[in-house]
Amino acid sequence: MRIFAFLLVASLVICSCGKDQEVEDQALIEDYVANSSKTFDVTPEGIYYSLDGQGISEEMPNINSVVKVDYTGYFLDGEQFDSNLPGAPIEFGLTQVIEGWGLGLQLFQRGESGTLIIPSRYGYGSSGSGPVPGNSVLVFDIKLYDF
Pairing of strands 138-146, 66-75: antiparallel
pLDDT, residue 86, reads: 95
pLDDT, residue 79, reads: 98
Q: What is the mean pLDDT of the chain?
A: 90
At 35, the pLDDT band (50, 70, 90 cuts) reads very high
At 6, the pLDDT band (50, 70, 90 cuts) reads very low
- Greater pLDDT, 16 or 84: 84
The backbone torsions φ and ψ at residue 103, rounded to the nearest 5 degrees and listed phi first, read -75, -45
CB-based contacts of 26, cutoff 8 Å, min separation 6: 46, 119
Structural domain total, the chain: 1
pLDDT, residue 1, reads: 47
Q: What is the pTM of this model?
A: 0.86
Range(s) of the domain holding residue 85:
2-146
- 111, 54 in Cβ contact below 8 A? yes
DSSP assignments along the chain, one per residue: -HHHHHHHHHHHHHHHHHHHHHHHHHHHHHHHHHT-SS--EE-TTS-EEEE-S--SSS----TT-EEEEEEEEEETTS-EEEE--SS--EEEETTSS-HHHHHHGGGPPTT-EEEEEE-GGGTTTTT-BTTB-TT--EEEEEEEEE-
The domain that contains 72 carries what CATH number? 3.10.50.40
CA angle 143, 27, 124 (to 5 degrees): 55
